[in-house]
Amino acid sequence: MSRPLVALACVFVMGATGVAAQSVKPSKEIAAAVGSPDRTAANRARDRYRHPAATLSFFCVTPGQTVVEFIPGGGWYTEILAPLVKRSGSYVALVPPAQAERTRVMLASGAARYGETQVQTIDFKTGASTMPAGRADVVLTFRNVHNLLMQDDPAVAARVFKAFHDMLKPGGIFGVVDHRLPEQMDTAQEKSSGYIKRSTIVRLAQQAGFRLVGESDINANALDSHDHPEGVWTLPPTYRLKDVDRAKYARIGESDRLTLKFQKVL
């Protein structure tokens, strides 16, 4: 019972709208994990855009939790999360089966810092996951929901969100960071630009059984126009246009991002 209660204490500090929007001061453990000299210089250089300490604090992450990260890619957040929960919690990478071996190699490369980690899989075609139901305290996805919407099968996102819900404990937290598509822009852009509307994420989460309990502008970027030749990949760190207008996109920085916190209803 103790872990859900900790999450509840973090979540339910509500404003007049009933949705928490304030920032949360990072714990000493999160601050230490983010400030670790073991992190690569290239990853640390992205902190000014990704605000990991404030983001993880907002998502109520603590060292004793079982934390599931959906598709960690090259391990930007893994480099923070795995050491954070190494001693008293558990880090789980959740990936499609085709990415499992690559993810194991990535985790093994940092084994001295990460300790014991897990790789669990999820099948986009069925929503089936090897992650046991009701085991996770927190499920986090950083810039991956838009990839679900870009799949050929339009039901993929709904299946995966339902799987997230199933693997969480009652009261568990589902944290989402993704590229923001303003509500007034064409929803069709979600299929190709990498940007996604708040309303789309909220709809998917609510349909899966989650309740929206917090949102923050931690990762917002007012310089982003949300309309680039190669979508979000025009901006750093990808620079898909290579040297074309590179200085312009460097001044914008990384994309404008939503930061939404949901809870599995008790």
Report pLDDT digits (tens) over 161-184: 999 999 999 999 999 999 999 999
pLDDT of residue 17: 41
Omega before residue 37 within 30° of 0, cis: no
Q: How high does pLDDT run on average in the chain?
A: 93
Other beta carbons within 10 angstroms of residue 155's beta carbon come to: 12
Tens digit of each residue's pLDDT (9 = 90 or more) over 48-96: 999 999 999 999 999 999 999 999 999 999 999 999 999 999 999 999 9
pLDDT of residue 21: 52
Span 125-146, mean pLDDT?
98
Whether residue 103 contacts residue 82, with contact meaning beta carbons closer than 8 Å, is answered with: no
Q: What predicted TM-score, i.e. pTM, was given to this entire model?
A: 0.93
State what percent of residues in the chain have pLDDT above 90: 90
Which residues are within 8 A (CB) of 227 and not within 5 positions of it... i.e. 6 or more apart? 185
Q: What angle do CA 137, 254, 245 make, to 5 degrees?
A: 160
pLDDT of residue 23: 61
DSSP assignment letter at 251: H
pLDDT of residue 266: 76
Q: In this predicted model, which residue has the larger pLDDT, 1 or 259?
A: 259
Whether residue 171 contacts residue 264, with contact meaning beta carbons closer than 8 Å, is answered with: yes
Task: Name the CATH superfamily, with its identifier, for domain 2-264.
Answer: Vaccinia Virus protein VP39 (3.40.50.150)
Span 129-147, mean pLDDT?
98
10 — pLDDT class (breaks 50, 70, 90): low
